[in-house]
Amino acid sequence: MNSSQIKKTLLVLFGLSLFFLPGQNFYLTAQASWQPSLVQEVDLDLTAPTAYPVNFTGREPPFLTAYSVLVLDRDSAVALYQKNARAKLLPASTVKIMTALVSLDHYQLEDVLTVNGVSWEGQDIGLEEGERLSVRALLYGLLVASANDAAQVLAKNYPGGEEAFVIEMNEKAEELNLRDTYFADPTGLSEGSYTTTLDLAHLTSQALQNPVFSQMVATSQIVISDLSGQITHPLANINELLGQISGMKGVKTGWTEEAGECLVSLVEREGRGIIVVVLRSGDRFGETAQLVAWAFANHSWEAIAPPIQD
């Protein structure tokens, strides 16, 4: 046997010997450390029944011009109807739902902000340069009259200005898991923003948990003023369905020539609530009214409880 064969034989014998050694070397011992679960724990009452909407007639909604539609049960998050619910579209002024949430997170309602450097583009309430208003008044302007000047004042007074405000809008969108949404400004005028009816419905359900937001979006008319009381701004809600449809609680309108007609609505009847979102519609108010009538005429909410475990 030559030296080369001897070396090969010794290597084989050495390799076989590893199988008979105690398993405490790096390759045979699994080393692991505990890591917290990425799944958030949620307290659930498994004995409480949950009511789910059931279409007991089988009737479909009427013809709609809207490119994207979602009718969502507020409490169970079950979709009664959806059409292109994940299509990314221009949101127009529906972005002001997020503008309001970021403002409510950062400001106190009685904080005073100064109008400075506002562009007065599109829908506005005629805020004057140097005018000082409470955050409460500005939020009414934002959510009732869909005022772009109010949105700009809220954003420009944020630490870091409007750019930092928009960054916070997108960080909150990520926090809420709005995967198909991006905000380019606080007004909805920019064509760089996009969202989906699915994300808007989820955003709205979160926003409605804030009682200030819920109360403001359901306001038909109000007059706000500056701190001196010398400058007043009468506001009328752009949502024509407020006061016209039973149970309409408002939320947010939106329109630009590029985005088309947009509307996010909450309607409550007999303890049930539905969120209706239409984007790129030719008749946002008429089609929302049709969807609301269809939803409540053709659905019943049935309580379903999980089986009792022995």
Residue 2's DSSP bridge partners are: none
Task: Look at the chain and report how many structural domains it folds into.
Answer: 1
63 located within any domain: yes
More confident residue, 307 or 263: 263
The active-site residue, picked from 93, 103, 134, 281, is: 93
- Residue 134 among the catalytic residues: no
Work out the pLDDT band at 305, boundaries 50, 70, 90.
Answer: low
81 located within any domain: yes
What is the per-residue pLDDT for 27? 27
Summary mean pLDDT of the chain: 86
Kindly report the CATH number assigned to the domain that includes residue 269. 3.40.710.10
Work out the pLDDT band at 3, boundaries 50, 70, 90.
Answer: very low
Residues of the domain holding 181: 57-298
What are the pLDDT digits (tens) for 104-113?
A: 999 999 999 9
What is the per-residue pLDDT for 36? 32
17 located within any domain: no
The active-site residue, picked from 146, 193, 265, 281, is: 146
23 located within any domain: no
What is the per-residue pLDDT for 22? 37
3 located within any domain: no
Query: Would the pLDDT of 5 be above 90?
Result: no
- Residue 93 among the catalytic residues: yes
- DSSP track, 143-209: HTS--HHHHHHHHHTSTTHHHHHHHHHHHHHHHTT-TT-B-S-SSS--TT-BB-HHHHHHHHHHHTT
11 located within any domain: no
- Residue 37 among the catalytic residues: no
The active-site residue, picked from 96, 156, 249, 252, is: 96
- DSSP track, 210-264: SHHHHHHHT--EEEEE-TTSSSEEEEE-S-TTTTTSTTEEEEEEEEETTTEEEEE
35 located within any domain: no
14 located within any domain: no
In this prediction, residues 119-124 reach a mean pLDDT of 81
